[in-house]
Amino acid sequence: MPNRKLTLPLALILAAALAVTLFPVFWIVMTSIKPPTDWNAAPAIWVPAEPTLINFRTLFNPDAIREYGVGGVSQSATAAVLGSLLAAITATVLSVGIGLFAAIGISRYGSGGRATPLIILSGRMFPPAAIAVPFVIIFSRAGLIDTYAGLIAIYVAVTLPFSTWMLNSFVNDLPREIEEAAMMDGRSRLMAHLTVTIPLIRGGLFATTMFVFILNWSEFLFALVLSYSNVVTIPVQLAKYVTATAGTLYGVQAALAVLAMLPLVIGGYLIQSHLARGMTFGAVKR
Amino acid sequence: MTAPKLELIGLRKDFTGGAIPAVDGVHLTVAAGETLALLGPSGCGKSTTLNLIVGMEEPSSGDIRIDGRSVVGLAPAARNIGLVFQDYAVFTHMTVAQNLAFGLSVRGQSKAEIAKAVGEVAELLGMGDRLRARARDLGGSELQRVAIGRTLVTKPAILLLDEPLSNLEAGARLTMRRELRRLQREIGLTIIYVTHDQIEALSLADRIAVMSAGKIRQIDKTATVYDTPDHVFVASFLGSPPMNLVRGRIERGAAGPVFQEQGLVLPLGAVAAARIVPPGEPVILGIRPEALGLLPTGDAPLQAKVTLVEPRGPETVVTVETGGVALKVVTGGAERPQEGQAVGVAADPASFILFSGESNRRLVA
Amino acid sequence: MMLTKPDLSEAAPLAGGTAPALQVDGLSKRFRSTQALDGVSFGVPEASMTVLLGPAGAGKTTTLRLIAGLDRLDAGVITMRGRDMAGLQPKDRDIAMIFDNLALYPNKSGLENIAYPLSLRGLSRMEAKARAAEMAKTLHISHVLDRLPKTMSGGERQRVALGRALVRDPGLFLLDEPLSSLDAMLRIELRAELKRLQREISSTFLLATPDFAEAMAIADRVIMLRASRVVQIADPQTLYDYPADRETARFVGAPEINLVAARFEPAEGGRIHLAGAAMPVPRHLAAALVKAAPEFEAGIRPEHLALAEPSTAQISAKVVDIEPLGLKSTLTVNNANAELRLVLAAAAARKLAPGDSVSLTLDLNRISAFDKITGLRIA
């Protein structure tokens, strides 16, 4: 409905929905700046009276937290942050890059017949837990266990169906005549796709990249079972903040979670203007 | 005297960001049982007017009255208007009978009442034997009938049809127009057609309101709008091909006023409106292509050259150039000149219409 | 079934008589389970406006796409001025195409859209833009050169697409329903302009449309396509006056041609019975009817029927429906044997009402005869 006014009931519903969605984020951000005494105080402390950056310092200097009488953190999170960046970025670039050309092939040239998109997606029909163990066996035989190459390979394998499927729908939405017009105007097939098709699905490309990056960035199961010591990612590191003396270090966990959120928030902000559909409006008659 | 079925009073709609109002002070009265066509090109404001009547949009100012009662602010469902969409909006997973019954069952009527009403409407539409057919198996004109029937079943005060025939093939359009005329006669409902197709308007409506730029340019009986357009826009929009419109000025000739534009000089002695125009005044001369005829060059009042020949089957549209002015002439199918050929043109001044060059309105003596 | 009359196709070139600019032979194309084209052959004369006319699904778009090289053909040969097109990429065929959905580059301005083919062909940026601007001026769209397609009106987009094709001066233009989805008035205006442009640059155009009126108005030659085959190739007036079969007769002309069951009786010099009346056999039908089955279908154009005094009339009937169409009206009448449509002046039609009795005369010399079973033209 065009020009629909924001009425009071509508505003209330929206506010409630926002509160439910944003509450966990609020809680994590607050916890990340709480001193250890406030972490699991009862009754709960919503906003700390004395906010501190100790949790963030502890991430990269495990001994920092000792000034509060809490000890037992052994490992800096630096390796995990770098490991996550390496695995997630590389896997996302590969997955989206391969998926993009697969999507164009399927959409424009019917590559592999009509069932191809479904067959590709079928790889995702197993629960990851069910295939994790076979992968451990295969990877250990192949010497890929506890290597970034192995982790990236499995990330690409897992997310490629999503990127192909998503990009395929964006390419399908783009009228093929636009790139064919470029072929008539003097482009070869390949150049028509590179200079016309891909720029015009830019929005979809960003959205897919973001989505695949989130999947890779937050993946826990494979990172856990396919690594011992060389390879470590943020989700795995998060699980390590449990000590015998002080129990779970909620504040430090929250601090790492806040750090992990940052690239997603920044990325989301940067691409949001590209996410709008309707890029091709006006190009064709409807 | 009873109130008219529908009244639009000073209706106006501004859209944020729009340079001009989409609907700009529209006054319109539709009598009960009348069929009116709202005719205009895309972007003229007719669809917005329709949305305002139905209640999908609220007017910026002005009033909409049905049976004398203002409906502004009422929800679409409370206005008792039946709207038939351009793309039918028939539920294809249901049968014809289920589609027809839909409006009544959501209103919670009893099964017996619904069955009776559905039967009546199906009979009226000549679809009595198609009630069990699945809507997805229907052809275009049958779908259109179901769409209309689904609306009729709820007994609306006014039936609004939005480009009802534009999705049909040419042949089905012809049949459907005939069907619609029969329906009009039989049910006597108040009907408004919103269309950009002059054929639909001419063949279905008692009266036509021609719109452009958010304004109604003329509203009158169908034949009157066609024969004596009040506004240059109306003249340019009706007829196929539309009226020749030539910008020029009135001069005093030896035998009364003449129209002059470049090398074209036409005596206007027979045109009463020409006498009230002061010499030198800019005017627009309107001549229906059917009022012009081609002659051998010798005995014709105007000498011309053929620039374009468009055959149409029973007749031919010939574009000629005379005195630097292009004119379209409709001739019989048999007499077809060659492009580039010299011909004579005869004009019947009795059919000429003069418009003011400034206001674009028709000049009346 | 053999629908093509050989004497109407390539054996008798209509315009010029020189070798055609484009020659298509035995074009076939199958998409999964549907045969989109089945042995389509035709020629497009040099510098002509040739129109592919046919209902939706006849194979018009497929034909154009095969000629453009956008789809692969299953069988057939396409030659342009003697050069075989097989294996050539679209860009190497010297063909410009206007798609039915226009397919403008949504991220490029009007000027860039028009200049694009030129810059791809190695013209400098400056020169490409200058020529594009020049082209825009001819098409009266100079005011949209800085704007993106989404801010243009339907007619402006249409002209930009036209400009993008015309700016290149290719050997052949393919236009796929270029005027569909425009308002009726704009369509009529633009089609006259299209024809004018084609004449001015004397290029070869092949235009596909389902609108017979458009075909009639602009074509030098019409290729009537139906159900994946060529049905008839003729100039527009011939197509209208001598349609090759019943379906073509119905497709071309509005209001639709009357198709009436008729019977030929050779006795007493021959008579035909139709619409409840008996009449002498017109000369153009006589020879053919003697050879054909006695039962046939008569095709009568609505303008060849007229109201008449009862004393001179051949057919009597009752008015069923009156359709006013401005200066003229379409009258539908029927009797026990037939329903007929005729065209008459609006003023005359206003005197009539449904249910009135009327008497009609028929211009016998203009009727067509079709075989009752095959639908093919007998005479």
Instruction: With beta carbons less than 8 A apart as the criterion, state whether C91 and C98 touch.
Output: no
Contact residues on chain A for C178, CB-CB shorter than 8 A: none
Burial class (CB in 10 A: 0-12, 13-18, 19+), B282: middle
What confidence tier does A13 reach under pLDDT thresholds 50, 70, 90? Answer: very high
| Average pLDDT, rounded, for chain B | 89
Helices B111-124 and B96-106, interaxial angle, to 10°?
Answer: 130
Distances (CA, A) of A28 to A31, A57, A86, A256, B63: 5, 16, 25, 10, 55
- Which residue of B47, B212, B310, B320 to mutate against C (max C Cβ within 10 Å)? B310
Token output for C231: 């049905």
Q: What is the separation of C-alpha A71 from the centre of its chain, rounded to a whole number of angstroms? A: 32
pLDDT confidence of residue C113? 95
pLDDT confidence of residue A5? 65
Task: Say yes or no: B166 contacts chain A, CB-CB below 8 A.
Answer: no
**Across the interface, do A182 and C105 touch by the CB < 8 Å criterion?**
yes
Token output for C28: 């076939």
Alpha-carbon gap: A116 to the closest alpha carbon of chain B (Å): 29
Nearest to B135 by CA among B88, B96, B181, B79: B96
**Across the interface, do A200 and C107 touch by the CB < 8 Å criterion?**
yes
Task: Say yes or no: B14 contacts chain A, CB-CB below 8 A.
Answer: no
**Across the interface, do B203 and C56 touch by the CB < 8 Å criterion?**
no
B234: Cβ–Cβ under 8 A, 6 or more apart, which residues?
Answer: B210, B217, B218, B225
Chains that contact C by 3+ CB pairs under 8 Å? A, B
ipTM over 0.95: no
**Across the interface, do B199 and C325 touch by the CB < 8 Å criterion?**
yes
pLDDT confidence of residue B175? 81
Task: Say yes or no: C355 contacts chain B, CB-CB below 8 A.
Answer: no
C343 → chain B, closest CA residue? B314
Instruction: With beta carbons less than 8 A apart as the criterion, state whether B329 and B290 touch.
Output: no
Alpha-carbon gap: C192 to the closest alpha carbon of chain B (Å): 8
C241 → chain B, closest CA residue? B313
Q: Can you tell me which residue has the tokens 């031919």?
A: B316
Contact residues on chain C for A185, CB-CB shorter than 8 A: 91, 96, 116-117, 120, 164, 168
Alpha-carbon gap: B222 to the closest alpha carbon of chain C (Å): 8
| Average pLDDT, rounded, for chain A | 87
Rg (CA), chain B: 25
pLDDT confidence of residue A1? 41
- Which residue of C250, C321, C332 to mutate against B (max B Cβ within 10 Å)? C321
Task: Say yes or no: C303 contacts chain B, CB-CB below 8 A.
Answer: yes
Contact residues on chain A for B56, CB-CB shorter than 8 A: 1
Residue A281 pLDDT > 60: no
Distance CA C369, CA C261 (A): 10
Distance CA C135, CA C166 (A): 8
A167: Cβ–Cβ under 8 A, 6 or more apart, which residues?
Answer: A96, A99, A100, A102, A103, A201, A204, A205, A208
A57: Cβ–Cβ under 8 A, 6 or more apart, which residues?
Answer: A64
Helices (H), chain A: 8-32, 54-60, 78-109, 116-122, 128-142, 148-173, 176-185, 189-192, 198-200, 202-217, 221-225, 234-238, 250-275
pLDDT confidence of residue C292? 83
Nearest to B244 by CA among B222, B255, B256, B259: B259
Contact residues on chain A for B15, CB-CB shorter than 8 A: 3
Contact residues on chain B for A3, CB-CB shorter than 8 A: 15-16, 57
Which DSSP helix (H) or strand (E) runs through C233? Answer: strand C229-234
Q: If interface means Cβ-Cβ distance under 8 Å, which residues of chain A face chain C?
A: 175, 177-178, 180-189, 196, 199-200, 279-285
B171 → chain C, closest CA residue? C256
Contact residues on chain B for C151, CB-CB shorter than 8 A: none
Distance CA C8, CA C2 (A): 13
Residue A110 pLDDT > 90: no
- Neighbouring C-beta atoms of residue C1, cutoff 10 Å: 7
Nearest to A105 by CA among A204, A196, A189: A189
| Residue-level pLDDT, tens digit, chain C, 379 residues | 334 333 444 434 444 456 799 999 999 999 888 899 999 999 999 999 999 999 988 999 999 999 999 999 999 999 999 999 999 999 999 999 999 889 999 999 999 999 999 999 889 999 999 999 999 998 889 999 999 999 898 889 999 999 999 998 899 999 999 988 777 778 888 888 899 889 989 999 999 999 999 999 999 999 999 999 999 999 999 999 999 999 999 999 888 999 999 999 988 778 899 999 999 998 888 888 888 888 999 999 999 999 999 988 889 999 999 999 988 999 999 999 999 999 999 989 999 999 999 999 999 999 999 999 999 999 8
Strand order in the sheet with C83-84: C34-44, C22-31, C75-80, C83-84
Nearest to A46 by CA among A56, A33, A58: A33
The SS3 call for residue A31 is helix
Give A169-203 pLDDT, tens digit per residue.
999 999 999 999 999 999 999 999 999 999 999 88
Give B207-257 pLDDT, tens digit per residue.
999 999 999 999 999 999 999 999 999 999 998 888 999 999 998 888 888
Alpha-carbon gap: C92 to the closest alpha carbon of chain A (Å): 7
Instruction: With beta carbons less than 8 A apart as the criterion, state whether B343 and B304 touch.
Output: yes
Q: Can you tell me which residue has the tokens 């002061």?
A: B278
Higher pLDDT, B168 or B135: B135
Number of inter-chain CB pairs under 8 A, A vs C: 87
Of B43, B222, B317, the CB nearest to C324: B222
pLDDT confidence of residue A283? 58
Distance CA B106, CA B95 (A): 16
Alpha-carbon gap: A219 to the closest alpha carbon of chain B (Å): 42
What confidence tier does A4 reach under pLDDT thresholds 50, 70, 90? Answer: low
Give A25-43 pLDDT, tens digit per residue.
999 999 999 998 888 888 8
Give B69-78 pLDDT, tens digit per residue.
999 999 888 8
- Neighbouring C-beta atoms of residue C126, cutoff 10 Å: 8
Instruction: With beta carbons less than 8 A apart as the criterion, state whether C222 and C215 touch.
Output: yes
pLDDT confidence of residue A276? 57
Give B162-181 pLDDT, tens digit per residue.
988 877 777 778 888 888 88
Contact residues on chain A for B57, CB-CB shorter than 8 A: 2-3
Nearest to B130 by CA among B88, B156, B98: B98
Alpha-carbon gap: A238 to the closest alpha carbon of chain B (Å): 50
Give A229-266 pLDDT, tens digit per residue.
889 999 999 988 887 777 888 999 999 999 999 999 99
B48 → chain A, closest CA residue? A2
Contact residues on chain B for C303, CB-CB shorter than 8 A: 314, 333
The SS3 call for residue A2 is coil
Residue A126 pLDDT > 90: no
Distance CA B349, CA B364 (A): 15
Beta bridge partners of B302: B345
Instruction: With beta carbons less than 8 A apart as the criterion, state whether C294 and C372 touch.
Output: no
Of C102, C117, C150, the CB nearest to A281: C150
Contact residues on chain B for A2, CB-CB shorter than 8 A: 57
- Which residue of A109, A185, A193, A194 to mutate against C (max C Cβ within 10 Å)? A185
Q: Can you tell me which residue has the tokens 């679209």?
A: C90
Token output for B5: 């079925």
Higher pLDDT, C106 or A275: C106
Of B226, B312, B319, the CB nearest to C213: B312
Give B65-107 pLDDT, tens digit per residue.
999 999 999 988 889 899 988 776 788 888 999 999 988 888 8
E strand map for chain B: 6-13, 23-30, 35-39, 61-66, 69-70, 81-84, 158-162, 190-195, 207-212, 215-221, 244-253, 256-261, 264-267, 282-287, 292-295, 302-311, 315-322, 325-332, 342-347, 353-356
Beta bridge partners of C52: C208, C223
Taking the CA atoms of B57, B60, B63 and B69 in sequence, report the sign of the dihedral they define: positive
Q: Determine if the pTM surpasses 0.90.
A: no
pLDDT confidence of residue A123? 72
Token output for B251: 């001069």
Contact residues on chain C for A281, CB-CB shorter than 8 A: 106, 150
- Neighbouring C-beta atoms of residue B227, cutoff 10 Å: 17
Q: Can you tell me which residue has the tokens 């006498």?
A: B275
Residue B17 pLDDT > 80: no
Residue A84 pLDDT > 60: yes
